Chains A and B, each alone.
Chain A
Amino acid sequence: MKKVIFRHSTSRQLLLSVAFLFTFTLSGFSQAQAAQDTTAQAEAGQETAAADAGGSGLGDPAAGKELFNSLCASCHKPYSNSIGPALNGVTDRRDMEWIHEWVKNSAALIASGDSEANEVYNEWGQTAMPAFPQLSNGDIDNILAYVEQPKPEPQAAAGGAAGEAGAAGGSGGVSTDVILGILVFVLAILLVVLFLVNKTLRNFADASGIVIPEKPKRKPIYKAFVENQFLVLVSSIFVLLAVGYFAYGWMMQVGVDKGYQPIQPIHYSHRIHAGDNQIECKYCHSSARTSKHSGIPSLNVCMNCHKSISEVAPETATEEYSKEFYDKEIAKLYDAAGWDPASRTYSGEEKPVKWVRIHNLPDFAYFNHSQHVTVAGIECQKCHGPIEEMEIVYQNAPLTMGWCINCHRETNIRIEGNEYYEKIHEELSKKYGVEELTAAQMGGLECGKCHY
């Protein structure tokens, strides 16, 4: 009986150790959580403190921010020069009275011969600032309160916070690993236990003199299999069929580049443009409306906006891509377009961007964007996938003929308000006895429509 007691104690020890390990990991995880919370609190405190310091004596920076974004932001930035000068520090440079007058009607101030006004006017290339007579002095003070806030040190702070958050996230990840590790450990223990039990039982049997009967040696299964010719035949047929099936599947994907996601010379994020900022696709890909090509936008289209957007907002940055990364990509654009952001002039030194083409239809297939976009009114996403979520664009559709044909079979043509279709639709729908015609019924399956 002694032996029995001994075994019982081993298992108890094991259980205890497992329980100990569990408690330890859990407490570790909660500690990390707490640390994170405190940082966030500290940050918030810092922000409010900053706001208090900047806004003293001027106005309400929150109201000012709203006004600034709606009226001033197209030409001014708080901390850097844009079309107009940086506004931070303007209250130190100029008299308050002067600022009020200038904002309300700068042209009048210049005309009055004010030396300061003329100096500014000439310094900034004689670009007249529009008059804002609708702003009261209070409003202007609010704006000034906003722009006079000291420049936050977001890089360091945000970086730190992100680093810490990363660490916290990391520890979370580790904890699941630990749990898994523990499970593996437990399983291993169980195996060992099983082995020990088996061994002990055999020992008992030996000790008790029980002879375990030897099983007769059976024929190995592979030999039996080889001898059964029918089974060999059937299974080889199956194997051949399976090989054929997979080989066919593999060969059918040769030349199908679904998921092709090349690295582009400039990291252009459709997520930011089409997703976050909701820019209409055809604003940049304008020729998709009229031409067979959707058109890669020329750099002058980029510069329409990026003349004044030289950096991304801190919120745009993600875990994977930092703000510096994006700003560097914008700098690449400036380099290609020959735009010098400091002097705000074009140097004329253009370096056309060599984009990597993602959707490569073979030359013998004719595809026309305008037919699908303008005439059929199909959303770009139907073929190009969730483009507004793509950080790096990939080929969403297989672009095979079967894929085209399927869609032509399933999609009804859009006839509303299109005089071209009136007669032909009426006649054809009568012929086919349907309400609405598919593209296929209109002749969209004819070979010569896409191959010539």
Chain B
Amino acid sequence: MSSNKKYWKSVEELNENSSVVETLQQKEFAEEIPVEDFLGDKENLGDSKTSRRDFLKYVGFSTAAASLAACEGPVVKSIPYVVQPERIVPGIANYYASTIADGFDFASVLVKTREGRPIKIENNDLSKFKGGANARVHASVLSLYDTKRVKRPMIEGRNVSWEEFDREVGTALENASGEIVLLTQTFASPSTSKLIQEFSSKYGNVRHVVYDTVSEDAALNAFQSKYGRRALPNYDFSKVKTVVGVGADFLADWQGGGYDAAFAKTRIPENGDMSRHIQFESNMSLTGANADKRVPLKPSQQKAVMSALRGYVAGGSSTSDLPASVDDAVVKAARQLRQAGSGAVVVCGIPDDEAQSWALEINEALGSRVMDTSNARVIRQGNAGEVAQLVEDMNNGSVGALLIAGLNPVHTLPNGKEFAEGLKQVETVVDFATRTDETSKLSKYVAATPHYLESWGDIQFSEKSFSLMQPTIRPLFDTRQFQDTLLRWSDNNSSYYEYIKETWSGGLGDRNWSEVLHDGVFEASSPVALPASANSGSSSVSFNMDEMEGEGFELTLYTNTAIGDGQQANNPWLQELPDPLSRASWDNYVTVSKADAEELGLENENVANGGLNGSYVNLSVGDTVVQNVPVYIMPGQAKGSVGLALGYGRKAGIQEEMQTGVNAYPLYKNFSSVQKVKIEKAAGVHEFACVQLHNTLMGRGDIIKETSLEIFNTKDAHVWNHVPEVSLDHQETPVTSPDVDIWESFDRSTGPHFNLSIDLNACTGCGACVIACHSENNVPVVGREEVRKSRDMHWLRIDRYFSSEDTFTNDLEKKENIGGLGSSLSEFGELEQPADNPQVVFQPVMCQHCNHAPCETVCPVAATSHGRQGQNQMIYNRCVGTRYCANNCPYKVRRFNWFNYAQNDEFDYHMNNDLGRMVLNPDVTVRSRGVMEKCSMCIQKTQKTILDAKREGRTIEDGEFQTACSAACDKGAMVFGDVNNEDSKILEKKNDDRMYHLLEYVGTKPNVMYQTKVRNTTEA
């Protein structure tokens, strides 16, 4: 049977009279190829001096020459110092205590330097006030080597010398025809405050406005009206018995952050007791994900919860107009708070003066020892009212000169456009900037400022706790820090370093300067009063959420783990750090609940290559519209609410690859993080770079083991931490038994044997370990496209699982009860869908360093082998890239170098420029294309510890062995050590009842262990 099918190559062919089709039938190419022009011209060919034979000769000769030249090895030059600094020994790292204070992140840190280059940020364990460094602080060392930094002072875009700059600005300030305004970040620095006072007294008409990009004004207002100082209460979360969080992401950036470390320690069950955490919130935040009980609520209802709580705890009222289920939760929370007595605390994160003052009131009524108002935090001093006033004044023309330091108001102000207009009215605008951002582009004078690792400073965390910032490298560019410049303009010839020393002379008590500088932190009382604006609340904006009722969604703007307020948007490590909850990187997106998404017709789907695609929406607040915002359907998002991260969408002074996401600041009206928003679906599909395709656990209790505190306390370990069994001669035998082991074990009893324990109770999923691992191990950045193809190179990932039923226990039950084909077809499908308000668990996974490693047996070239110390060693120079090992790894922790990520223009991140490569750790190989890599358990660090001990002829104490991740984990979730040391903490962890191994039934005998997650579900 013949067919009449007609095959066609293009639509054109269907058109019978198409001239193109006819032409193409005659000729191969539609356009003439000018062969005749060249070959037809005999003269031209004859004139050519190179004959075909000559050409072949040249080719042959140059090939031969090239191959001959290749035989010669390269000549490597070594250039020693002319005068070697006393403390620098090539090959040995030096550590300096310093402090980051960029207006958003404040932390005391240790800076590791090699040959004078800072290469890593570590926690300063002497700092008792705040927890350790978060992911952004760990990544800040890479921002030092940012090629997009402003390299020298500029006037109207022209490079000038500092002398000229000082002269010009000096004259301009002298002749300023109006007020001089200093618009700065929160410096929280006594010396800077003093300096600004001196500057003010020189020029007379100076106003200092402090602006926090992400405002804590409501909390500041509440504290000020109650205690008379513009500050934030300090919380000692290590004393918590019960905490109720209402919209407060206190494990992340709430009120300056740094509370997670202390709180995590109360989460580890000890003597049958652990803290209880109840969270009322709209977005699925890191804090909510870690809560024992999470109640998703729209922001407007959160205020009602605060009100009800106040009634139940402090005020004596016993009713609320909340829905019954929520009311029940609030009643129970109140009861538990009262039971916990002084160990109870209520924290509130909604931008509402009233709600914030209720929180203070409730804590006082509870007699909470957790809240400390006597040593209040001063790391947020912004005053939204004054900023608004300033924008008004600028447009009025009453501002003669504006000095902007540490800020990018054109981008970050909700009324940035108005501010930009205002800038035109100001005669002299000086921007102290680290990059040519939106604001410095509009400023006449741009003063290049250094990174904090090149600067001096004294930082006041709270009324009694201080920290010093010291430079760890000579300024890379011709920069001068804001304070030094201000000193020069106040006719003070001393350097800022001398100025700080002078400020503190006599103020350090019985400690001297060098000692304090060595430790980095100290306790004292400030020799200088807080900035004037911190004490005058006259023009502060009041926050009120009562107008929330009505149509539309309630939007909660938040700062995410990676980018924060957006200062380090040009940092590729941070861009590629997956969000702990959505697991998407290189993006911000609006988080929508599943119910709302269905209603609006919004979709998320995984396409063939595994990548996640999402719809777009337009968000409008009032008449401000933000277009084409990708949608991520977030389990646990309160119905009727949406969330969006600030800090993205920066364009100016940012490398093209890093210009990601949408700018949410225009929606941040009146500095309120909660807005009424209209959502409308937009055309197009967004391609996410999301690293986790499957979000639920499918009832697989062998990956995450968890139980409730009650069961943990009352039942035997084998009930809630069951070791899998196999049948041996019809006897059920635990897989850990040597009888069912077909492997011959090596003897690891001598020397150190390393183990790593990860406590799922203490891990909050903050991602600090991931960045620490990047910077220690030279992990490359691969970019958005590659991440989307699941080719991310992270040696350490933090898996996040949502429960499909209300709890993971229910998941497990559901799976157990599946029987028959029909049931399994439908119910397994259901298990793939996360619940509306799921339980969440975070699980850091890196190479498990199996003693019986499946990867080792399949390598055809023995490129991966086992050491006596328990480490599974990956030898890059031996690897030929078969990837058998990755296939055979049950944990999927091996990463393959699909490309050369260093010195490759296709991957134009820090490893592609000389400046960025300065951050590389010289002790770790930079891997090349075609080899497999994975976590080495920081063998370079363990080897160094051993060598140090050998050299000093001593034994090694417990705690000396560390990996980058365990050292970065300020929560104590990761413990690393030698299990052959009988007094070690790691051995204690290994013998703990909660200990289990990932996929234990596979019998790989990993050297990484996990501690069962225990949830305190006990209701009062």
Contacts and interface: CB of A to CB of B under 8 A. Distances in A.
Interface string B87-130: 00111100000000000000000000000000000000000000
A298 B80 contact: yes
A370 B943 CA distance: 13
B868 A446 contact: yes
A3 interface: no
Contacts of A350: 82-83
B77 A452 contact: no
Contacts of B750: 424, 427-428, 431
Nearest to B867: A446
A448 B873 contact: yes
A292 B944 CA distance: 10
26 contacts: A260-B73, A287-B91, A295-B91, A298-B80, A298-B81, A298-B82, A298-B83, A299-B81, A352-B81, A355-B78, A357-B76, A357-B77, A364-B876, A364-B877, A366-B923, A371-B951, A374-B951, A418-B950, A420-B956, A443-B867, A447-B875, A448-B871, A448-B873, A449-B867, A451-B875, A452-B924
A360 interface: yes
B955 interface: yes
Interface in B933-966: 936, 939-940, 943, 946-947, 949-951, 953-956
B514 interface: no
The binding surface of chain A is classed by DSSP as loop
Given A299-B83, A418-B950, A424 B751 contact: yes
Interface string A81-107: 000000000000000000000000000
Nearest to B869: A443
Given A299-B81, A300-B84, A452-B939, 11 more contacts: A262-B75, A287-B89, A295-B80, A296-B80, A300-B82, A338-B82, A364-B925, A420-B950, A420-B953, A447-B875, A448-B875
A88 B747 CA distance: 76
A362 B936 CA distance: 20
A421 interface: yes
Interface string B742-756: 000001011100000
B817 interface: no
Interface residues of A, number: 56
Nearest to A351: B82
Contacts of B926: 363
Contacts of B923: 292, 366, 452
A446 B865 contact: yes
Interface string A405-434: 000000000000111111110011001000
Contacts of A297: 80
Interface in A199-257: 255, 257
B929 interface: no
Interface string B59-93: 00000000000000101111111111000011110
Given A300-B82, A443-B867, A448-B875, A354 B77 contact: yes
A80 interface: no
A366 B91 CA distance: 12
A107 B90 CA distance: 44
B172 to A, nearest CB: 37
Contacts of B749: 427
Interface in A347-399: 350-357, 360, 362-366, 368, 370-371, 374-375
B90 to A, nearest CB: 5
Contacts of B875: 447-448, 451
Contacts of B79: 352-355
Contacts of B76: 356-357, 360
B911 to A, nearest CB: 14
A127 interface: no
A316 interface: no
B939 A257 contact: no
B947 A257 contact: no
B878 interface: yes
B83 A300 contact: yes
A449 B867 CA distance: 9
Contact of A448 (B89, B867, B954, B956): B867
Contacts of A353: 79-80
Contacts of A356: 75-78
Interface in A300-345: 300-301, 336-338
Contacts of B81: 298-300, 352
A291 interface: yes
Contacts of B954: 419-420
Contacts, number: 148
Interface in A64-122: none
A293 interface: yes
Contacts of A427: 749-750
A355 B75 contact: no
B423 to A, nearest CB: 45
A447 B82 contact: no
A298 B84 contact: yes
Contacts of A290: 89, 92, 951
Which bucket holds chain B's interface residue count? Answer: 35 or more
B82 A299 contact: yes
Nearest to A336: B82
Interface in A249-282: 255, 257, 260, 262
Nearest to A451: B875
A437 to B, nearest CB: 11
A356 B878 CA distance: 29
A423 B978 CA distance: 15
Given A356-B75, A447-B865, A295 B90 contact: yes
Residue with the greatest number of chain A CB neighbours at <10 A, chosen from B75, B91, B876, B925: B91
Contact of A296 (B78, B867, B939, B940): B78
Interface in B745-769: 747, 749-751
B85 to A, nearest CB: 9
Contacts of A417: 953
A119 B92 CA distance: 49
A353 B83 CA distance: 12
Given A291-B92, A363-B925, A371 B82 contact: no
B950 A375 contact: yes
B80 A355 contact: yes
Nearest to B952: A420
A371 B951 CA distance: 7
A352 B90 contact: no
Nearest to A375: B950
Nearest to B80: A296
Contacts of A255: 73
Given A291-B90, A451-B876, A357 B936 contact: no
B873 A419 contact: no
Contacts of A374: 951
Contacts of A362: 877
Nearest to B956: A420
Contacts of A336: 82
Contacts of B946: 420
A447 B873 contact: yes
A297 B750 CA distance: 39
A420 B92 contact: no
Contacts of A448: 865, 867, 871, 873-875, 936, 939
B80 A446 contact: no
Contacts of A420: 946, 949-950, 953-956
B73 A257 contact: yes
Contacts of A257: 73
Nearest to A422: B955
A296 B865 CA distance: 35
Contact of B940 (A364, A422, A446, A452): A452
Contacts of B878: 447, 451
Given A352-B81, A354-B79, A431-B750, A451 B90 contact: no
A350 B79 CA distance: 12
Nearest to B868: A443
A291 B114 CA distance: 12
Contacts of A447: 865, 867, 873, 875, 878
Nearest to A301: B84
A287 B90 contact: yes
